[in-house]
Amino acid sequence: MSHPVDEYGHVAILYGGQSSERAISLISGQHVEEALKKQNIACSLIDTAVDCIQQLITLKPSRAFIALHGGEGEDGTIQGILEALNIPYTGSNLQASALAIDKYRTKLIWKGSQLPTPDFFLLNQETKQNYPIPCMVKATCQGSTIGTFFVKTIEDLTSALDKARVYGHEILIEQWINGDEFSVSILSHTILPPVRIIAASNFYDYHAKYKASDTQYLLPCQLPSLAEEQLKQLAYQAFTILGCSGWGRVDMMQDKQGKFWLIEVNTVPGLTPNSLVPKSAQALGINFPHLIRIILDQTMCYSNPLNHQDQTMPSIQKNETISCVETEPPSV
Residue tagged active-site, from 266, 275, 280, 293: 266
34 part of the active site: no
Rounded distance between C-alpha atoms, residue 186 and residue 100, angstroms: 14
Q: Give catalytic status of residue 249 as yes or no.
A: yes
Q: Active-site residue among 72, 264, 293, 297?
A: 264
- 144 catalytic? Reply is yes
- Catalytic: 174? no
Q: Known catalytic residue: 21?
A: yes
DSSP 8-state assignment for residue 186 = E
Catalytic residue among 89, 249, 275, 297: 249
The residues near 119 (Cβ < 8 Å, ≥ 6 apart) are 132, 174, 175
Strands 190-191 and 179-187: antiparallel
Q: Round to whole Å and give the CA distance between 84 and 306.
A: 8
Q: Is 264 a catalytic residue?
A: yes
Active site residue 229: no
Catalytic member of 210, 217, 243, 315: 210
Out of 21, 102, 174, 181, pick the active-site residue.
21
Catalytic residue among 25, 92, 144, 183: 144
Q: What is the dihedral of CA 108, 111, 113, 116, to 10 degrees?
A: 140
> Could you say which of 47, 83, 251, 297 is catalytic?
251
Q: Which of 160, 230, 243 is nearest to 194 (CA)?
A: 230
270 catalytic residue (yes or no): yes
How far apart, in Å, are the Cα atoms of 252 and each of 177, 197, 207, 280, 306?
10, 10, 19, 15, 31
Of 38, 30, 36, the residue nearest 9 (C-alpha): 36
Quote the Cα angle for 260-264-267, to 5°: 130
Give the burial class of 21: count Cβ atoms within 10 A of its Cβ; 0-12 exposed, 13-18 middle, 19 or more buried: buried
Residue among 270, 275, 280, 297 flagged as catalytic: 270
Residues known to be catalytic: 21, 144, 210, 249, 251, 264, 266, 270
